[in-house]
Amino acid sequence: MKYLGTLLLIGLVVYCVIDIVRSQDDERLGVHPALWVLLVVLFPLVGGIVWLAVSRTRRAGRTGTVRADAPAGPLAPDDDPEFLWRLDQERRRREQRGPDDRPAPDDEPRDQTGPAAG
Question: pLDDT digit of tens for each residue in the chain (118 aa)?
Answer: 789 999 999 999 999 999 999 988 888 888 899 999 999 999 999 999 999 999 888 877 766 555 555 566 666 767 778 888 888 999 999 888 876 656 555 555 555 565 554 4
Do 21 and 33 meet the contact criterion of CB atoms below 8 Å apart?
yes
Spatial CA neighbour of 24 closest among 60, 76, 59, 73: 59
C-alpha 33/C-alpha 35 separation (Å) is: 5
3-state secondary structure of 115: coil
The DSSP output letter for 71 is: P
pTM over 0.75? The answer is no
Longest dimension (CA), the chain: 82
How big is the chain, counted in residues?
Answer: 118
